[in-house]
Amino acid sequence: MKTIEEINQKIKDGDAVVVTAGEMTRIVQENGAGKAAEEVDVVTTGTFGAMCSSGAFFNFGHSDPPIKMSRTYLNGVEAYSGLAAVDAYLGATQPHRNPDIGLDYGGAHLLEDLVRGNEVELVAESYGTDCYPRTDVHTFISLESLNQAIMVNPRNCYQNYASATNSTEETIYTYLGTLLPQMGNVSYSSAGELSPLLNDPYFKTIGAGTRIFLCGAQGYILGEGTQHSTEGERKNGVPVGSAGTLMLQGDLKKMDADYLRGATMPKYGPTLYVGAGIPIPIINEEIARYTGISDQDISCNIYDYGVPRRSRPVIQESNYQELRTGKIEINGREVQTSPLSSFKKALEIAEELKKWIDKGEFFLTNPIRSIPSEGCTVKPLEIKRPSIMVKDLKIKPIITVRAEEAISGVARKMVDNNINHLPVVDHAGRLMGIVTSWDIAHAVAQGSKKLTEVMTKKVIVAMEEDPVEIIARRIDKHEISGVPIVDRENLVKGMITAEDISRLICSQNNKEGDSQ
């Protein structure tokens, strides 16, 4: 029906009809896709969320005498210097080199500082060469003093994204935020009907060279992003899970800190909140129908992030209309939902892009190359030495105690079997708690009579399907010396201790040493 050239002429003449994706949803619902395609020329989209796969290239300029930077730090955050003498790439998730600061300040915060006009400390080291004799630099720079500061984000604007919950008994900390025990909350990250790639799910108008809104400035799509996938399940034309991605580029010097924010996910690390908006030219009825998608039409899976594996189990399916109400029902129980991304900010981006086009300050571009809409899958990393699973360990015969047993009898079991941990089980062998030799000593000192008074009821456990390295991290994280092994029915199958893991590591290292 229309071409991008015709739409651009209407923009130039001030005659283009531009609406946000939210407005287009209502127009299509009321008038149909055919009528909407006749009336509307451009639909603006927006998203503002945590996009870890982001960063920027810097050129610092040559010092006198010159230096070939081999290690580069900006406000204590290392930037990759294996490029050229005074070029570096700063990744958003790089933490501070000082462990006392660590995850609280990283690459994302540094990028925001620069965009806000703040000076930052530059420290660089070198091994020195004949043409680059200088071996160190310590100075301060600003965004203005850099020759170039080019944002290049390898993976942004996920087409759809996982929603997360946690079935375990402990709070876990993830890139989708803090997840409470026993499915205490659900976290999601999408602008739903405003999201760019959900309004053009088959990349009919979006491609390499497409001009976009990026963090308050004009940017471009370089092509498909890393982990771009097209082969997942779709409903109403849009993927149910993580699918397409974009690689983006923009001039950091022209960006606005309102649309670029550094953040830290608790106990996970730094991330960058990126604001991106893509104009969708309404060239035909098909595109009008895609941009009429509503939150109710966009399905997404809720995954159990309590399972620390690449393929996590799906708890159930939902949609963004339901998630945005702030609550959802899981297994007959009401669970709170919360967005990791900002719908308000996404709408602001779509509105801002609309203003740019209305004022004739932003024109559409024909892609120079299409982004694949089929044939792309994400392969797993093949590990030559597979992980040892808990179920593969040689576990000693399990010794347990019942909650009603006398404390003196429990102490005798520990002494007779030379052990420091005893799982407490019910009549069916299901885990109720755990008691340690320290608990027993404390019970005797305090004159406690019942085991239930001294045992730990909230128990950190190992599942039979867990990799041993995950259990090692769990033991270290909670500063405990062992955990019970349970199956999906919570039946106790054994104990795994820090000593067991140490022996396993030593055995593996010895085998590797013998084979070399």
What pLDDT does 507 receive? 65
**Beta carbons within 8 Å of 445's beta carbon, 6+ residues apart:** none
Q: Decide: 300 and 323 in contact? Cβ < 8 Å.
A: yes
The pTM (predicted TM-score) of the whole model is 0.83
Which of 59-63, 133-137, 453-457 bottoms out in mean pLDDT, i.e. has the lowest? 453-457
pLDDT for 515: 53
- By annotation, the residues acting in catalysis are 131
Q: Summarize pLDDT for 251-275 with one digit per residue, the tens.
A: 999 999 999 999 999 999 999 999 9
Is residue 160 within 8 Å of 238, Cβ to Cβ?
yes
Q: Is a pLDDT exceeding 80 seen at residue 512?
A: no
DSSP letter for 290, please: H
Q: Is the pLDDT of residue 191 over 70?
A: yes
| Ramachandran sector of residue 74 (left: φ over 0; alpha: ψ -120 to 50; beta: rest) | beta
Q: Over range 65-72, report the average pLDDT.
A: 97
Q: pLDDT digits over 100-151, tens only?
A: 998 999 999 999 999 999 999 999 999 999 999 999 999 999 999 999 999 9
Predicted confidence at residue 469, as pLDDT, reads 85
Alpha-helical (H) ranges within 260-342 are 285-291, 320-323
| Closest C-alpha to 451, from 418, 408, 481, 491 | 408
The predicted model gives 382-403 an average pLDDT of 80
Per the CB < 8 A criterion, the answer to whether 338 and 179 are in contact is no
Question: Residue 31: pLDDT band by 50, 70, 90 thresholds?
Answer: very high
Mean of pLDDT over the chain: 93
Residue type, 50: A
397 pLDDT above the threshold of 90:
no
* Interacting residues of 18 by C-beta distance below 8 A, sequence separation 6+: 40, 41, 42, 43, 44, 354, 357, 358
Give 443: exposed, middle or buried? Use CB within 10 Å, 0-12, 13-18, 19+. buried
HSE toward the beta carbon, residue 513, CA cutoff 13 A: 6
Q: How confident is the model at residue 447 (pLDDT cuts 50, 70, 90)?
A: confident
Binning pLDDT at 50, 70 and 90, where does residue 277 land? very high
Structure tokens, 151 = 């944002």
Sorted by sequence, the CB contacts under 8 Å of residue 159 that are 6+ apart come out as: 195, 197, 198, 201, 238, 239, 242, 243, 244, 245
Please state which of the ranges 51-55, 303-307, 460-464 shows the lowest mean pLDDT.
Answer: 460-464
What pLDDT is attached to residue 470? Answer: 86
Could you give the percent of the chain with pLDDT greater than 70? 97
Q: Which of 149-163, 229-243, 283-297, 396-410 has the lowest mean pLDDT?
A: 396-410
| Tokens encoding 139 | 């100075």
C-alpha to C-alpha distance for 82 and 4, rounded to whole angstroms: 41
Q: What is the pLDDT of residue 66?
A: 96
Of 41-45, 380-384, 437-441, highest mean pLDDT: 41-45
Residue 384 has pLDDT above 80, yes or no: no
Compute the average pLDDT of residues 235-254.
Answer: 94
| Angle of helix 437-446 versus helix 407-417 axis, rounded to 10 | 140
